Amino acid sequence: MGDQPLAEHLAVIGVVLFVWVARACRRGKNSARITAAVLAALGVLIAIYDVSAGRSTVNLIASLVVAALGLASAAVLWQRSAGAYFRYFKRPQL
């Protein structure tokens, strides 16, 4: 129970980062795809830690949902069609 405020702060930071990534992807920033992949990997590592640490069922479910959503979003961002979208923004603007 002592780490609850820390978990809440980390959750807020995570939401802010994912909103930033979504906005950056909308603007065609390729670095946002890389950041999304890193955040997804961190989400998976946190989920693994939560499982091994014996967290409550609610925390486990939340952690696994976040990890699954992160992996799904990273997978979508690295599809070939998404690559074409990001390449469109790299072309010289007239």
Whether the per-residue pLDDT at 62 is higher than 80: the answer is yes
- pLDDT exceeds 60 at position 89: yes
- Give the pLDDT confidence score for residue 34 in this predicted structure: 93
**Residue 19, both tokens:** 């909103």
Q: Smallest Cα–Cα separation from 82: which of 10, 32, 14?
A: 32
Q: Is the pLDDT of residue 93 over 70?
A: no
Instruction: State yes or no: pLDDT of 5 exceeds 90.
Output: no
Rounded alpha-carbon distances, angstroms, from residue 21 to 38, 59, 61: 11, 24, 23
Contact call for residues 59 and 10 (beta carbons, < 8 A): no
pLDDT at 77: 92
Where do the structural domains in the chain lie, given as residue ranges? 4-90
Q: What percent of the chain is predicted at pLDDT more than 90?
A: 35
Q: What is the pLDDT of residues 10-40, one digit of tens each?
A: 778 888 988 999 999 999 999 999 999 999 9
